[in-house]
Homo-oligomer: A and B are copies of this chain.
Amino acid sequence: MLSAKKNQILSEVGSGTPMGELLRRYWHPIAPVLELGRRSVKPVKLLGEDLVLFRKPDGSHGLISRHCPHRGTDLSTGWVDGDIMRCPYHGWAFDSEGRCASQPFEEAGPSGGFRDKAGVSAYPTATLGGLIWAYLGPDPAPLLPDFELFSWGHGFVEIIMTELPCNWFQCHENGMDPVHFEWLHLNGNAVRSSPADPEYVPTHLSIDFLEFEHGFVNGRVVETPVVPPKGTYAGTNDVSEGGILCLWPYTLASGNTIEFRVPVDDRRTLNITWQYSVLPDDVPAGKQDQDEIPFWYGPLTDPDTGEILTSHTGNQDFSAWVGQGAVADRTTESLGRSDKGITLLRRRYFEAMEQVARGEDPPGTVRDPEANVNIQLPLMGKSLYTEGMPRRVFEEKLAARKESGLFGIGGFLTVQAGRPDHLQKEYDDIAGVAQMPAADVD
């Protein structure tokens, strides 16, 4: 349970707020590279700031204030003209450094204009893993961490975008919460699959967390069943052997997915899931074209009922977070043993805010270029992702899925509802399996 003041500090992301300043020390994924290949201009809101992202002819990007300093019109309704972003109203234009590069009518006059007084905010961008990233903090910017998963070559990557009507931190807390997996996902699926007679999965006995340079390893001890349950069963892992990871500043990495809870503003979060669907190990290794990683927008609600979808793992998480309210009220909660990770997480964020206030780098900051190559992560069962899934296991999972109809976690099903059919087909073609008659559970 937190005081209202502490709850506010955890939740506010605007410039000048303690958490807003902490978050401005990290890089943020804001859009798929491919999306800006299809449309050259996109309005973006990040940490409460209205911005416009544009793609230059050389494929690099600019990220500047959304409103023209001339008369305030929305630059995202303009166009890219060479390397500059042109305002549609009077043709003023700005380069990716925020400098005013053109004031056509002003320049036609005797004074030659006043470009030097008409700049906009501009932020550096970079690309990695098929995503465009932005840094909104003070110079010098840290390095964008080159985690190993962006270099793996035994999976099929896609990017899923969903905006959630709730604060980012309650989403992030979920990454330090192994117990929810048993209930929200596995038992919830069992109930949906067989409401009259659900078969609950083995129960968690204890959880554990290990902090490392880039975040936290999640561990757990789960009861060993005499008879393993139908469908998927997630067992015990010791933090010393690796686990699911909760990374600074708001990332969950399982190997199968990396999930970013990007703060749009205090009450909205852009959830970006980078899904790595493992391929059978006999498929030749190869990295996808990073500029062509497919993306899709996953729906939050069922268009027929207006209710939040709960058919897939990711949607179940969304439902739990949004169900906590636009900003979770931590003044009335009742924390227990299951919330050990959440308590740890909050404590470390309060400490990190103090570090930033003192002018120090917060945890997870990378500044050494030599160390920023293929950063190894203590993921559980990592060889599955780095080497592919043994063909035999892959075929067993396919068979089990056909039999049970249960949604699986095997790396070859989407974690969110709404996947375009052609992506399942592309994966199946690469994996060398016949198209399944029912592509998914819903």
Interface set of A (CB-CB < 8 Å, partner B):
67, 69-74, 77, 79, 87-91, 103-106, 108-109, 111, 113-114, 117-118, 177, 179-180, 182-184, 187-188, 191, 195, 203-207, 308, 310, 316, 319-320, 322-325, 328-330, 332-339
14 residue pairs of the A-B complex, CB under 8 angstroms, read A69-B332, A70-B334, A71-B328, A72-B329, A77-B308, A77-B310, A77-B320, A79-B188, A89-B183, A103-B336, A108-B203, A108-B205, A117-B334, A118-B334
| Contact partner, A71, options B71, B117, B195, B339, Cβ 8 Å | B339
Beyond known contacts A72-B325, A77-B320, A104-B183: 9 more, CB 8 A cutoff: A72-B324, A77-B308, A79-B191, A88-B316, A90-B179, A105-B179, A105-B207, A105-B338, A106-B338
Q: Which of A91, A180, A204 has the most chain B CB atoms closer than 10 A to its own CB?
A: A91
Which B residues touch A105, using CB under 8 A? 179, 182, 203-204, 207, 336-338
Which B residues touch A328, using CB under 8 A? 71-72
Shortest Cβ distance from A66 into B: residue: B323
Contact B336 A70 (CB under 8 A): yes
Contact A323 B109 (CB under 8 A): no
Instruction: Please report the C-alpha to C-alpha distance between residue A179 and residue B90 in the assembled complex, in whole angstroms.
Output: 6
| Contact partner, A183, options B88, B111, B322, B330, Cβ 8 Å | B88
Instruction: Please report the C-alpha to C-alpha distance between residue A182 and residue B336 in the assembled complex, in whole angstroms.
Output: 63
Which B residues touch A109, using CB under 8 A? 206, 337
Which B residues touch A319, using CB under 8 A? 74, 77, 88
Which B residues touch A180, using CB under 8 A? 89-90
Contact A90 B333 (CB under 8 A): no
Given contacts A77-B319, A191-B79, contact A90 B337 (CB under 8 A): no
Contact B333 A71 (CB under 8 A): yes
Contact A90 B324 (CB under 8 A): no
List of 8 A-B pairs having minimum Cβ-Cβ separation, nearest first: A74-B323, A91-B183, A105-B338, A73-B323, A106-B336, A72-B324, A109-B337, A105-B179
Which B residues touch A323, using CB under 8 A? 67, 72-74, 77, 89
Which B residues touch A335, using CB under 8 A? 70-71
Instruction: Please report the C-alpha to C-alpha distance between residue A109 and residue B335 in the assembled complex, in whole angstroms.
Output: 14
Contact A104 B203 (CB under 8 A): yes
Contact B90 A183 (CB under 8 A): yes
Which B residues touch A337, using CB under 8 A? 105-106, 109, 111
Question: Closest Cβ of chain B: how far from A97's Cβ, in Å?
Answer: 18
Question: Closest Cβ of chain B: how far from A179's Cβ, in Å?
Answer: 5
Shortest Cβ distance from A321 into B: residue: B73
Shortest Cβ distance from A79 into B: residue: B191
